[in-house]
Homo-oligomer: A and B are copies of this chain.
């Protein structure tokens, strides 16, 4: 596990980030909200920590996990050159139509 891409592949981790977007949270809060075991939450948080997507503030025995969105900029950068492409193609319906035709040809040959 190295990049933010891998970290985002897991849907649970995406949910954790979404929850931290509202405000920092304790591990226990996340356990309640996600309905999964505490060790599992801690593991996902460790992965997110390692790629820099969250940081921890310790407060006695409690640990506040806080979002650090900067690594997402890496993904945004990778995405950039594609953005223009899909925007440019929004008005072209031919793709969809042609695909429907091909599906028809393949499956509909009863």
Is the beta-carbon distance between A55 and B99 smaller than 8 angstroms?
A: yes
Which of A6, A17, A21, A81 has the most C-beta atoms of chain B within 10 angstroms of its own C-beta? A6
Chain B residues within 8 Å of A86, by CB: 69-70, 72-73
Is the beta-carbon distance between B78 and A79 smaller than 8 angstroms?
A: no
Q: How far is the CA of A69 from the CA of B86 in the complex (A)?
A: 5
A2 (CB) vs chain B CBs: closest residue: B11
Binding site for B on A (CB under 8 A): 3, 5-6, 8-9, 11, 14, 17, 21, 55, 67-70, 72-73, 75-76, 78-79, 81-83, 85-86, 89, 95, 99
> Can you list 15 A-B contacts with CB-CB less than 8 angstroms, sorted by A residue number?
A6-B9, A9-B9, A21-B81, A21-B85, A67-B85, A69-B85, A69-B86, A69-B89, A70-B86, A72-B83, A73-B86, A75-B75, A76-B79, A76-B83, A79-B79
What 8 pairs across the A-B complex have the smallest Cβ distances?
A: A9-B9, A69-B86, A69-B85, A69-B82, A6-B9, A72-B82, A70-B86, A5-B8
